[in-house]
Amino acid sequence: MTIDINTLLAWGATYKKVSKDEVIFNEGGHCSFYHQLVSGSIRWVNINDEGKEILQLMVEPGESFGDLPLFDDAPYAATSLANEDSVIIRLNKTTFLQLLRDNPETHFIFSKLLCENIRFKFLIVKALAEHNPERAVSELFNYFKQKKKNICTKCNKVKLTRQQIADMLGLRVETIIRTIRTMHEKGDLLVDKGKVYC
């Protein structure tokens, strides 16, 4: 969801530039701000004991991230890192909550977004529970097409790498490579010059 930048600025929000691979907040950290991506790309990950990233979400410009602790006062559930040099806009948590109280329509839209994110997690868990990589990849791509996220709306090119798809689905990259090849051979998707189209 995009909250109008002018609205955020009127409520005291500030811009912040972040460099590639810079940490915006850490899993387990305290939440002090509402964050919205203005330009660039952000990933939201959990990092296991071996240092491997488990990709939770790729954030695109206009989207907010790290929203749960704004409402439950618990720590961040994941770490947020810049994929490239990026610009975010952030608003103090207390002020953000007052903005929602004073603007019920914005609050309703924001609540709907939170529900969509929870549904996405249910989709991922269900796909993984079936132990069927083709179905998991298909469900993920169908969701992205429906939401017009992580897929080019003009040419249907998937914007995620095979490694990012694997990290998002909790599968090995080799499994994703084989699965995409099989789906291409069946005509379920197109692979051209290493790029995946659905």
What's 182's domain CATH number?
1.10.10.10
How many folded domains does the chain comprise? 2
Give yes or no for a contact between 196 and 151, defined as CB atoms under 8 angstroms apart: no
Residue 192 domain flag: yes
Q: Are residues 82 and 139 in the same domain?
A: no
Q: What is the per-residue pLDDT across 19-46, written as a single tens digit (0 to 9) for each?
A: 999 999 999 999 999 999 999 999 999 9
Q: Are residues 20 and 100 in the same domain?
A: yes
Q: Are residues 135 and 82 in the same domain?
A: no
Q: Are residues 107 and 160 in the same domain?
A: no
Q: Are residues 134 and 104 in the same domain?
A: no
Among 54, 80, 114, where does a domain finish?
114
With 0.75 as the threshold, say if the pTM is over it: yes
Q: Is the dihedral of CA 183, 166, 39, 33 positive or negative?
A: positive
What's 53's domain CATH number?
2.60.120.10
What is the extent of the structural domain holding 92?
A: 5-114
Among 114, 143, 167, where does a domain finish?
114
Q: What is the per-residue pLDDT across 99-151, written as a single tens digit (0 to 9) for each?
A: 999 999 988 888 888 888 888 888 888 877 888 899 999 988 988 888 888 88
